[in-house]
Structure 1
Amino acid sequence: MDDNCLNLRRFVRQSLNVLSQPRNDAEVTSTLTCLLHLASGKYHKQYCQQLAHFDIDQDNFLFAVVEFHKNHYVNVLEFLVDRFTVEWMSLLPKRENGVKLLNQIFIKGPPDLVLIVLGQSISDPGVSYRLNKCIDLLEQLLLLHIEDILWNQCQLLRDDPLRQLWPDIIKFLATIPDRVTAKQEKETSLFFYPIQYVPYLCQAIYKCLQKVHDRIQLDQSCSVEFLSQLVGKLATTGYKEILWGTLLPPIENHLYSDAIWCRVCERWISQIPDRCLESVIVPLIEQASWYGIVGKFLGDSVLNNQKLRFLLMNKLLLVRHYQQSKIPQNILGYLSNSPRTKHLLIQTLHTLIEVWGDSSVLKHTSYEKHFYLSRAIIVCLAFIEDTDKARLKNELLPKLMTALQCHLESALPKIRHLGMVVAECLTSTLDPDGEELKFNADILGFFTFGGCSAQLASTKVATKYDTDEDLKQLKQLLIKPVNPGTSYTERELPEKLGTDQGNSAPEQVAGINTETKEIEELDSDDDLEPYDMSEDVKMTKFKTPVYLRDCMEGLISSDEPERVETCIQTAESLVYKHPANAIEIAVEFTKVLLHLQDNYAMQGFSSSRHKAMVALACVAPQMVAEYLGKEFYARNYNIRQRIDILEVLSAAAQKLTNPSGNIVSGTSKSSEMLIHEVTREKTEPDSWREIVDKRIEAKTRRFSKGRLAAASVESENKFAPVAGYFFFPLLQVFDR
C-alpha cells in the first residue's frame, strides 16, 4: 500500500475519532468540511487545510477522492448513521451549521452508495430519531439525484465491479414506498406514496432512455440492462399500471418516427428477466393504443424468447380471457406485422380453431371464455393476407365443419349463434368469391359447404338467429385496426362534439324549450331570492403560484390540467411583478412557453401564453430576442411555433417603443406609476399663480377656443438599445 493510501486512511481514522465525541466546534467543522470535499470531489485550499497535515494536497487530491469513494465512503456513512441520535446531533456546532455540513456529506457524494446505506438503515426494526433522519436524507437524495443514480448504472461496463450493487439498488428503488410507509405509517411524507413516487421514478427512467438515445446517435456505447431489471422489479412489485401509464405516452410519440428509439425500446424490453416478463408485457399490451406500438417494443423477440412466445400465443389467448378486444388485436396484429413472425399468426389461428371446436372444451368453459376465443379467431382473420387465403381455405374448412357441428348441437342458443357467425366470417374471408354461407332456415341431416359436409343431430336444429351486441362486436372485428397516430384522442373528441351539436334539429330544440317552460311554470320559486354569486372565485386544488420558478415548474407538469391552467394565467403578472427574478430564468421560461401545447383545450390558453412570452421579452429583451431569433430557423419547429416567435418579437418591440407600455425592467417605472404621477401633477397645483390663472380662466367668456393638446409624458425608448437583437438574428441565415 503506497503512502497516499496510508495518509488517507490515517485522516479518515482521525476524523471518525473527532466526530465520535465532538468537543471543539472548530475542529468538528473542519473535519466535516474536509469529508464533504472528499465526498463531492471538489478541492478548496481554504477549507481543506486539515488534509494538508496528512500530505493530501491539490496534486494528489483526485487520487484521494477515488480511493475515498472506493474504500472509505461507505464506512464513513455507516459511522454517521450510527451516531444519529438527539444527544449527538445537539453536540454539533450550531453557528457553523454543523447539521447542514453533515447532510451535505450524504447529498454530495456518489448517490448510489448513499442509497444503499440509507436503504439498509431504514430496514432496522423500530421507529426512532435515526430512522426519521435517514428517511429525510433519503427523500432529499432521491429528489435531487434519482436520475443520476439510474444514469450512472447505464454507463457501467460489463465487467465493472459496481454491477454487483445492482440487486440492492433495484430492490431499494422499487420497494422504498412500501418500506417507508410500513415504518412511518400516517407520518409518511407525500413523496413516498406510490402515486407520487412511482411516476417520479418513471420520469427519471424516461430521461435516462432519452440519454441512451442521444449517446447512440453519437456512436457511443451505453447499456439499458439496469433499466430493464428495474422496470421488471417495479412491475412485479405491483406498480405495472402506474409504470406504463407514465412511460407509454411520451415514448409512443418517438416510436412513430425515430428508428433509434425503436432500437432502444426493443433492447430495453428484450433484456427484462424472464421471471418479470409477464408482469411487464401484459399491461403493455393492455395500454398500447395500436398493435404497431407493441411491435416497436418487442421487435422479433418472440422468435428467440420461448417464454414470450408461450405467453403471447398460449397463455393470453387460450388460458385467460379479457373483456377488451384490444388485447387479442395487439397480440395477433404484432404477429402479423413482420414477415418473420407471420407464420406464427397462421399457427395460432390453427390452434384457436382446434380449441374452439373441441366438444370437451365447449362443455367445460364459460360463455365469456368461449366468446373471447371467438373474438380471437375473427381478429386472426382480419390480419390474414390475400396470398395465404387459398392455402388456408383447404386447411381450415374441414376443421370448421367439425367445430360447427359441435356448436349447432349445443343446447345453448348463444353458443349456436357464435358458431354460425364465426363460420360465416371465416368462409367469407377465406373464400370471398365462393358460395356465400347464410344461416336463415332450419337444417336437417347434413350441412354442406365448399365440398365439405357435416352430419348434424337427427332432430331439427334451428339455425336462424337475431343479431345481438356480442354478434355485432364479432363482425366489427373483421376490420383491421387503424393507426390512431399521436393525437388520436385530441383529434376525435372535437369531431364528436361538433357532430352532436350540428345534428340537433330546430324542432328538437323548440320542443325542449317548450317542455322547459312548462316545467318552470309548474315548479317556480319566485318567492326565493337567488344568492349573489357575481364575486365568486373559481376554486381549484392548486394554489396560485407566487414565485416564477414555481410557475414554470407547474407548466412543465402537463399531467395536471388545473395546475397548468392556473400557472399559465398568472405567468404574465408574475413576470412584471418580479422582473429581477424573471431576468435570471427568462430564456428557460421562454423555452418552456414556446414548446407548451394546449393539450386540455383551456380557455384563453393561446392569449395567456402569448402575453407571458411578450412580458419576458420586455423584461429581458436582449436574451429573449437572441434566443427566439436563433430558434426561428432551428429544426423540428412547426409553422405555428415560428409564427408565434414572430408575433412575440413584434408585440414586444411595440411595447418597448410605447412610452406608456406596462414594462418593468430594472429600475424603470410601470405604467400605473406614471399615470399616478401625471394625475397628481394635474390635481395638485404647484404655485399660487396657477390658482389665480384657473380662477381667471373660469370667469373669462370666450366665443371660440382652440383645441387643447394633452400634456405628453416623456419616457425613455427602451427599444432603441436592443433593436439589433430583434432584427439581426432573424436576418442572419435569411439568404440560406
Structure 2
Amino acid sequence: MSYFSKSMCETEMRRFMREVINDLTTCNDQKKLVNILSIIRFLANANSDKNDITKNDDIATISCYGLQKFQEQEHVYKHLFCKLYYSQILTIVLNKLSVELISEFPKNKIRTHIDGLFLHGPATHTFLVLTRSITNVSQGFKLHKCVSLLEDFLCSHRLANILKSTCSIDVCDPADDSNSSRLHWDQLIMAIVSLPDNMANKLQEQNSEVFLPANYIPLIGRDFMQTLQYVHGMISNNTDCSLEFICRLFGKLCITGYGDILWDTILPGLYQHVQTDYIWCRICMRILTGLPDRCLESAILPLLNKIPWYGTVGKFVGDCVVDNPRVQYILCTKLLLHRFSEQVLLLQNVIGYLASSHTRRQLYLQVMKNLLQVWGDVSAVKHTSYEQHLYICRALIICISHLKNEDKQEIKGEFHRLLMPGIQCHIACADVKIRKQGMVVAEIITKALDATGPQLKFEYEHDAEVDALFSLLVVPKEPSGEEIEKRFGSLLIESETTREPLKPATEEINKKDSNKTSTAETPSDLDSDDDMEPFDMSHDLPVTKSKTPKYIRDCMEGLICSDDPDRVEACLKASEHLIRANRDAVREIAAELCKVLLHLSDNFAITNFLLLRFAALVAVTVQSPEESAVFLTNEFYERNYNLRQRMDILEVLAAAAQELSSPEKSDKVKASKPVEEIAPKCEVSNWREIVEKRIESKTRRFAKGPRQPPPHESANRFSCVAGYFFYPLMKHFDRKESTLDLLGEDLLILGRLVFTLGIILYAALHTPNCQRMGTTLLEFTWSLRFHTDPYIRQSVLFATSMIFLVVPCHFLLSDLQSEVTETKSWLQDVVEKDSNTECKKLAIQALVLLENSLKNEFDKGVSVT
C-alpha cells in the first residue's frame, strides 16, 4: 500500500471513529446503542463478520457512518481500529456501564454485545483495559462487572492468544518503533505478573479464587503449554517465530517467586516431550538461555530441584554452561559453594549434568577441585554452618561417584595434596559431627583415587547420616515410566502397560499366618520335649575366678594390679557400690582413688569399661566432694594428662555437681514408703483398724486434705562445695603448656570447659554464692564471645543462658545492668550475623530467657505497688 493510500485510510478512520465515539458517549437509546456495539464488534474481529451484521438489520447504521467505503480495504481498517481505537472504545463502554443501562438490555443481548466485545476482541488490549479499570474503579457495580469479565477472560484461556500473538512475526505489517514495542511488552508483563497482588489488594476478603497464586499461576502454565505447542507447530512448518516475550514473562514470574508453581505445571508435559522430540529440546533450551541474567537463577534452581534424573538436564539446558558465563557461574559456583539445600537431588542433577558429557567434563573436574579446596580450608570449616559443610561433603561424594578411571591418574597427585590438610583440619575440629563427616569423606576419596593402595580407616559410629553419605556413591539410574508418573502425579504416558492388581497386605499376612499354622500342626514337627519348662536362670551370677572385693582398699589394690584381668574387672564392677556404701572410708582415700581411676586404662577389653570407670569417679566425687573436687580441678591443668583424661575430669565434675544439687534418692524412698511396708505385716487384722474403717465409711467430710504428702525437705549438698568445683577451673585457662593450649589448638577442651562451668553454675541454683559465680562466669566468657570456632561460641552462649537462669533478675538489673545491656546487643548481633545455625538458635534461646526473666521481675514490681 502506498503512503498516500495509507494516509487516506487513517484520515477516513479518524473521521469515522470520531462520529462513533461521539454517538457512543451521548447515546441513550437502546436500539442505537446496540447498532453501535455491533459495528465495534465487527471492526474488532469478533465472532461476526459483515454478513452477520447485514442479517441483524444494521445496514442502515453502517451506511450512515459510511462503512460501505471500507469494503475494499477492510483488513487495513480493522487493523487500524484494533491498534488505535479499541482500547479507547472499551474504556468508554466501561465508563458507561451502570445498573440502569444493563437492566434495559435483554440477557442474551448483554452476553452478545457487551461481554462479547471484551471476550472476542484483541486479547492484549482487553486484558490491559480490564486490569487498569479494576485498579482505578471504586467499589460498586462497575468493579464487580470488570472482575467478572476478567474471570471469564482468564478461564477461557485468552492469555494464550496474547502469548501466541507475541510469538508470531508478521512480515506484512510495517515495523513498529522498537522502544514503543518494548514499553508495551513491559506494561503487559507487569500486568500479568502483578495481577494476583493487585486483585488481593483491591478485593481483599472478596477476592476470587481465580486470582489466587495457587490457581492463577497453573492457569498461566497451561497457557504457556498451549503457546509452546503453537511454536512447535510453527517450527515444524518452517515458519519464523520469536520467544523473546515468552522468555521475559517466564523470567519475571520466576524472579517474583512463582517459579516452583510454574515448573510444577509445565514440567510434566515438557519432560515427556523432550524424551523423543529434538524440537522440544531446542524450545526448552531457547527459553532458558533467553532469560534475562537477573532471572536465570530463580528459573534454573526450581528446575534442577524437580527434574527426576540428571540425564535429562542436558535436554533442557543444553551446553549453555560452556558458552554462557552467567549460567556457568550459577551452576559451578553459586549453587555448590554459596548456597545449600536439604535436597540431594539438586546436587545429583548439577554434578551429573556436568559429568555426563565430554564437552562439560573439564568443568566437572574443576568443580570437584574447588569443592575439595573449600572442604579442606580451615577458615571455611570455622565460619560456615554445619548444614553448609554437610552440603559440600555431599557434593564431593557425588563428584567421586562420577569419577572415571581415565581421570584418576590426572588428578591423583593434586587431590592428595589438597586432601591431607583437609583431614588434619577436620580431625582437629571441635564439632563431633563435622569431625565424623571429615573422616567419612577422607575414606571415600582415598579409596576412589587408589583402590589398590593404602587406605585410610577411622573409628567412628555408623549412624543414619553416615549411611546416607555412603549411599551417595551409587549413581542414580534413569527412572522408569511408573516412577515418573508417580513423581509428577498426573503425567500422561502414551504407552501404558496393563498391570496386575496388587493384593491387599492383610491377605498376604493372613496367608502367611495360615501357612505357619498348617505347618505347625503337622505331626512330624511335634516334639515331646517341648512340653518341658526351662529353668529360671535370670538370677544366676557369672562364674569368675576372682572374688568380689568387700572393702574399698581391697578394691583399689585390685585396680592397681594390672596382671590379673579377672580381678581388675571384678573390682571395677564393684567399685561404685562400695564407694556409695562407705562414705566415711572414702573421705580418707578420695584423692588416691580418683587418681587410680583416672589413670586406669582398658588393657583387658572389659565390657562397658568407660561407663564403669565414669560411674566410680562420679561416686567418689559425690561421697567426698571437697577432696575430690580439689584434686580433679588441680590435675586438670597438669602436664601428665592427655586430652581424653581432661575431658573425663570435666564430665565427672559436671555429673557430680548435678547429682549433689538434687535430693538424695534414699530420702525420697523413705519418705514415700507407707508405714505398712516398713512395719511387719500381721496375719490377723487389728480390731482398731476395723473400727476406724467403719467410722470412716459413715463420716461425712466437707473438705479433704492434700492427696499426696508434701515434698520431703532436704539440704542442698552442693551449696557448701560449689566453689571447689567452679573457681579452680578458671585459674590457668590462658596458660600455654606443651600438652595443653586452650587458646590455641585444644579448642575442644576449651569448649567443654565452658560447657562444664555453665552446668556447675546451674547446679548452684538458689545457693547464696550463685550471684558471685554468675558474675565471674560472665567476665570469664567475655573474651570468648567472638571466637572464630563455632563450638566455642556455642559453649559461651550456653553459659550465658545459664547465667540468666541462675542469677536473680534484680541483681542483673542493679549490679550488672551495663553488662546485661551489652550482652543483649551481642546476642542480637549473633542472631543476625552469625554463620552457624546452632549459634543462632542458642542466642535466640538466651534472649527469650532474658526477656522472660525481666518480664517476671517487672510483673512482681507492679503487683507489689
TM-score range, shorter chain: 0.5 to 0.7
In the alignment, does 2:84 pair up with 1:71? yes
Per the alignment, residue 461 of structure 2 pairs with 466
- Relative to structure 2, which stretch is displaced further, 284-293 or 188-197? 188-197
Indicate if the aligned counterparts of 1:28 and 1:93 stay in contact, CA closer than 8 A: no
Once the 2 structures are TM-superposed, how far is the Cα of residue 163 of structure 1 from its aligned partner?
A: 5.0
Indicate if the aligned counterparts of 1:7 and 1:55 stay in contact, CA closer than 8 A: no
Counterpart Cα distance in 2 of 1:76 and 1:507: 78
Per the alignment, residue 122 of structure 2 pairs with 110
- SS class of match (1:234): helix
String of CA shifts for 1:625-669, please: whole Å, max 9, x gaps: xxxxxxxxxxxxxxxxxxxxxxxxxxxxxxxxxxxxxxxxxxxxx
In the alignment, does 2:468 pair up with 1:477? no
Once the 2 structures are TM-superposed, how far is the Cα of residue 267 of structure 1 from its aligned partner?
A: 0.5
- Structure 1 401/126 Cα, relative in aligned 2: closer, same or farther at 3 Å? same
In the alignment, does 2:137 pair up with 1:129? no
Counterpart Cα distance in 1 of 2:134 and 2:349: 42
String of CA shifts for 1:602-621, please: whole Å, max 9, x gaps: xxxxxxxxxxxxxxxxxxxx
Q: 1:258 aligns with which of 263, 277, 282?
A: 277
Per the alignment, residue 43 of structure 1 pairs with 50
Indicate if the aligned counterparts of 1:56 and 1:64 stay in contact, CA closer than 8 A: no
Counterpart Cα distance in 1 of 2:321 and 2:280: 19
Identity of aligned residues (%): 34
String of CA shifts for 1:53-87, please: whole Å, max 9, x gaps: 34332333222211211221122122222223335
Counterpart Cα distance in 2 of 1:505 and 1:150: 59
Indicate if the aligned counterparts of 2:296 and 2:327 stay in contact, CA closer than 8 A: yes
Once the 2 structures are TM-superposed, how far is the Cα of residue 3 of structure 1 from its aligned partner?
A: 4.4
In the alignment, does 2:343 pair up with 1:332? no
Per the alignment, residue 457 of structure 2 pairs with 438
Aligned length: 488
Once the 2 structures are TM-superposed, how far is the Cα of residue 358 of structure 1 from its aligned partner?
A: 0.8
Per the alignment, residue 63 of structure 2 pairs with 52
Indicate if the aligned counterparts of 1:379 and 1:477 stay in contact, CA closer than 8 A: yes
Indicate if the aligned counterparts of 1:252 and 1:486 stay in contact, CA closer than 8 A: no
String of CA shifts for 1:113-172, please: whole Å, max 9, x gaps: 111111221222642322222222222222222211111111146955555421122112
Once the 2 structures are TM-superposed, how far is the Cα of residue 393 of structure 1 from its aligned partner?
A: 0.8
Indicate if the aligned counterparts of 2:44 and 2:121 stay in contact, CA closer than 8 A: yes
Counterpart Cα distance in 2 of 1:96 and 1:370: 67
Counterpart Cα distance in 2 of 1:410 and 1:108: 70
Indicate if the aligned counterparts of 1:393 and 1:430 stay in contact, CA closer than 8 A: yes
Counterpart Cα distance in 1 of 2:100 and 2:116: 20
Counterpart Cα distance in 2 of 1:240 and 1:392: 38
Per the alignment, residue 247 of structure 1 pairs with 266
Once the 2 structures are TM-superposed, how far is the Cα of residue 252 of structure 1 from its aligned partner?
A: 0.6
In the alignment, does 2:377 pair up with 1:358? yes
Per the alignment, residue 184 of structure 2 pairs with 165
Amino acid at match of 1:367: Y
Counterpart Cα distance in 2 of 1:43 and 1:467: 82
Per the alignment, residue 411 of structure 2 pairs with 392
In the alignment, does 2:152 pair up with 1:140? yes
String of CA shifts for 1:388-409, please: whole Å, max 9, x gaps: 1111111101110111111112
Amino acid at match of 1:473: A
Amino acid at match of 2:163: L
Aligned pairs for 1:713-732 within 5 A: none
Indicate if the aligned counterparts of 2:251 and 2:295 stay in contact, CA closer than 8 A: yes
Once the 2 structures are TM-superposed, how far is the Cα of residue 489 of structure 1 from its aligned partner?
A: 4.9
Counterpart Cα distance in 2 of 1:179 and 1:328: 37
Counterpart Cα distance in 1 of 2:507 and 2:419: 47
State the TM-score, normalized to the length of structure 1: 0.62
Once the 2 structures are TM-superposed, how far is the Cα of residue 25 of structure 1 from its aligned partner?
A: 2.5
Counterpart Cα distance in 2 of 1:200 and 1:244: 12
Amino acid at match of 2:225: Y
- Structure 1 234/61 Cα, relative in aligned 2: closer, same or farther at 3 Å? same
Amino acid at match of 1:34: I
Once the 2 structures are TM-superposed, how far is the Cα of residue 344 of structure 1 from its aligned partner?
A: 0.9
Indicate if the aligned counterparts of 1:29 and 1:93 stay in contact, CA closer than 8 A: no
Once the 2 structures are TM-superposed, how far is the Cα of residue 217 of structure 1 from its aligned partner?
A: 1.7
Aligned pairs for 1:253-652 within 5 A: 253-439=272-458, 464-489=459-484
Q: 2:33 aligns with which of 13, 28, 32?
A: 28
Indicate if the aligned counterparts of 1:8 and 1:56 stay in contact, CA closer than 8 A: no
Aligned pairs for 1:644-723 within 5 A: none
Indicate if the aligned counterparts of 1:25 and 1:93 stay in contact, CA closer than 8 A: yes
Once the 2 structures are TM-superposed, how far is the Cα of residue 194 of structure 1 from its aligned partner?
A: 1.8
Once the 2 structures are TM-superposed, how far is the Cα of residue 326 of structure 1 from its aligned partner?
A: 0.9
Counterpart Cα distance in 2 of 1:156 and 1:128: 41
- Structure 1 404/232 Cα, relative in aligned 2: closer, same or farther at 3 Å? same
Indicate if the aligned counterparts of 2:137 and 2:143 stay in contact, CA closer than 8 A: no
Amino acid at match of 1:129: F
Once the 2 structures are TM-superposed, how far is the Cα of residue 307 of structure 1 from its aligned partner?
A: 2.4
Once the 2 structures are TM-superposed, how far is the Cα of residue 330 of structure 1 from its aligned partner?
A: 0.8
- Structure 1 509/223 Cα, relative in aligned 2: closer, same or farther at 3 Å? farther
- Structure 1 503/319 Cα, relative in aligned 2: closer, same or farther at 3 Å? farther
Per the alignment, residue 162 of structure 2 pairs with 149
String of CA shifts for 1:400-452, please: whole Å, max 9, x gaps: 0111111112233322221221111111112123233323xxxxxxxxxxxxx
Amino acid at match of 1:23: N
Counterpart Cα distance in 1 of 2:510 and 2:414: 54
Counterpart Cα distance in 2 of 1:512 and 1:381: 51
Once the 2 structures are TM-superposed, how far is the Cα of residue 33 of structure 1 from its aligned partner?
A: 0.8
Once the 2 structures are TM-superposed, how far is the Cα of residue 495 of structure 1 from its aligned partner?
A: 11
Indicate if the aligned counterparts of 1:4 and 1:56 stay in contact, CA closer than 8 A: no
- Structure 1 96/391 Cα, relative in aligned 2: closer, same or farther at 3 Å? closer
In the alignment, does 2:22 pair up with 1:17? yes
Indicate if the aligned counterparts of 1:11 and 1:51 stay in contact, CA closer than 8 A: no
Once the 2 structures are TM-superposed, how far is the Cα of residue 506 of structure 1 from its aligned partner?
A: 5.9
- SS class of match (1:196): helix
Per the alignment, residue 132 of structure 2 pairs with 120
Indicate if the aligned counterparts of 1:378 and 1:422 stay in contact, CA closer than 8 A: yes
Counterpart Cα distance in 1 of 2:470 and 2:507: 30
- Structure 1 305/509 Cα, relative in aligned 2: closer, same or farther at 3 Å? farther
- Structure 1 11/507 Cα, relative in aligned 2: closer, same or farther at 3 Å? closer
In the alignment, does 2:74 pair up with 1:61? yes
- SS class of match (1:40): coil
Indicate if the aligned counterparts of 2:169 and 2:240 stay in contact, CA closer than 8 A: no
Counterpart Cα distance in 1 of 2:428 and 2:110: 85
Indicate if the aligned counterparts of 2:308 and 2:479 stay in contact, CA closer than 8 A: yes
Indicate if the aligned counterparts of 2:195 and 2:211 stay in contact, CA closer than 8 A: yes
Aligned pairs for 1:208-247 within 5 A: 208-247=227-266
Amino acid at match of 1:487: E
- Structure 1 200/97 Cα, relative in aligned 2: closer, same or farther at 3 Å? same
Counterpart Cα distance in 2 of 1:495 and 1:424: 45
- Structure 1 254/385 Cα, relative in aligned 2: closer, same or farther at 3 Å? same
Indicate if the aligned counterparts of 2:351 and 2:364 stay in contact, CA closer than 8 A: yes
- SS class of match (1:73): helix
Counterpart Cα distance in 1 of 2:26 and 2:432: 85
Counterpart Cα distance in 2 of 1:512 and 1:316: 58
- Structure 1 491/477 Cα, relative in aligned 2: closer, same or farther at 3 Å? same
String of CA shifts for 1:187-223, please: whole Å, max 9, x gaps: 2222222222211110110121122122212222212
Counterpart Cα distance in 2 of 1:293 and 1:495: 30
Counterpart Cα distance in 2 of 1:498 and 1:343: 51
- SS class of match (2:44): helix
Structure 1, unmatched stretches of 5+, are 440-463, 514-736
Amino acid at match of 1:408: I
Per the alignment, residue 724 of structure 2 pairs with none
